[in-house]
Amino acid sequence: MKNRKVTYRLYPNLKQAERLLEMLALHQRIYNIALEDRIRSYREEKKSLSFADQCKTLTLWRHAYKELADLNAQSLQVTLKRIDLAFQAFFRRVKNGEKPGFPRFKSLQRYSGWGYKSHGDGWRLFPGKQDKHGKLRLSNVGMITIRGKGRTTGEPKTCEILHKSGKWYVSVTIECNPIRTCGTKAIALDWGVETFLTTHDSKEQTSRVDNPRHIKSELKTLKLLQQSVSRKANKQSHNRKKAIKSLAQLHSRIANKRKDFHHQVAAKLVKENGLIAVETLSVQTMTKSGGSRKKGLNREILSTAPSQFHQILKSKAEEAGIIWVEIPTQIVKPSQTCYKCKIQKKKALSERWHSCSCGASCHRDENSARVDLDYALAKVSGQELAEVGSRGGFAMLNHETQAIS
């Protein structure tokens, strides 16, 4: 099981926003009162209050004050847990001889929000189509419109309501159950004209994936067969029908081999990476690998490559719970942007080498993959990257300095 965090922005109406602020203030007060209680108990009775002690007190408070009784009990416990964690961290620092930093009282302005322990208890998420946008139901607030997109599907477990510079967010922890394992690198792919793919990853490795040799040789046979069909001008002839039949058989054999190849490449990419960035499929990307030089069936087979591979890779990435970033080619312009200095300069398709006045010099496809990777790393939140990293040392570029503005 893996946990993922998905953050949505909340769009409460006026009444809901008012209520959210009231709730924030109550949680902040509980936090400060619980902190004060711990301090007083220690000063007066030399007794350290535990989390369980404070939960008992909380129950009494909830009986005494109606406004507290209206709040979700679990969410109040989460607030008490925060105090507990702050003290645990404090004692750990004292023990290690570090600067202790005693837990502090918090002003409403500095109070970040509150949390819920289990889905369905005080909150429920209603994601929209394909996990995009949707609604959040909070008890005592109602249905709130949310905007955002989950990159992985799974079961919502816990959530935090966050208040940052006047805006409201909900950060939902999603438990995913990936049926495929993934790696810890980030990688970007670029469709080549001569090669199948060029990749660049966060360990600064560039690789080329060639079209498999056996497919190339079969494409030659295919060409011969096509010629033989077109030579047999008599449409009724038995030989022509035979040639057409073997042409069709070869065609489907190549298509199958190509599909196998796509599965293999995709499985390897998913196994080694935790983030995959690909160009959004467009007619331009589709024809890039087909090329206008290639005619007829060859072209048909080659031009289906990006869309089929894209689909296979995406579904494997979903199975592994990988971060999937689609690069809007028209905006990013990977082939026309220098990966190093970010200056854009138009290149003809025949220009295969990228050399820039800033000193950057590499293959055109490598440059594109590098630009795509930087874009993807800048696009994905640090929190998401850290979660990929927690699976075993995500090798990250210092993407802050390389981000595309």
Binding site for Zn ion (CB under 5 A): 338, 340-341, 356, 358, 360
Closest CA to 23 of 74, 61, 75: 75
Nearest distance from C-beta of residue 188 to Zn ion, angstroms? 18
> Considering beta carbons, is residue 323 or 338 the nearer one to Zn ion?
338
- Nearer Cβ to Zn ion (26/338): 338
Q: Which is nearer to Zn ion, 358 or 403 (CB)?
A: 358
For the bound state, the minimum distance from the C-beta of residue 359 to Zn ion, rounded and expressed in Å, comes to: 7
Report the nearest approach of Zn ion to the CB of residue 336 (Å).
11
Q: Compare residues 7 and 337 and give the one whose CB is closer to Zn ion.
A: 337
The least CB distance from residue 376 to Zn ion, in Å, is 20
We find the least distance from the C-beta atom of residue 341 to Zn ion, in angstroms, to be 3
Residue with tokens 């008992």: 56
Q: In what order do the strands lie in the sheet with 142-149?
A: 113-116, 155-164, 167-176, 2-11, 142-149, 132-138, 123-127
3-state secondary structure of 388: helix
Q: Which of 74, 215, 219, 93 is nearest to 157 (CA)?
A: 74
- The residue among 317 and 362 lying less far from Zn ion, judged by its C-beta, is 362
**Cβ distance to Zn ion smaller for residue 62 or 340:** 340
Shortest Cβ 402–Zn ion spacing (Å): 12
Output the CA angle 205-209-210, nearest 5 degrees.
Answer: 145
Q: Alpha carbon of 244 to those of 218, 237, 240: distances in Å?
A: 16, 11, 6
Left (φ > 0), alpha (ψ -120 to 50) or beta: where does 338 sit?
A: beta
The runs of H, that is alpha helices, within 122-237 are 213-231
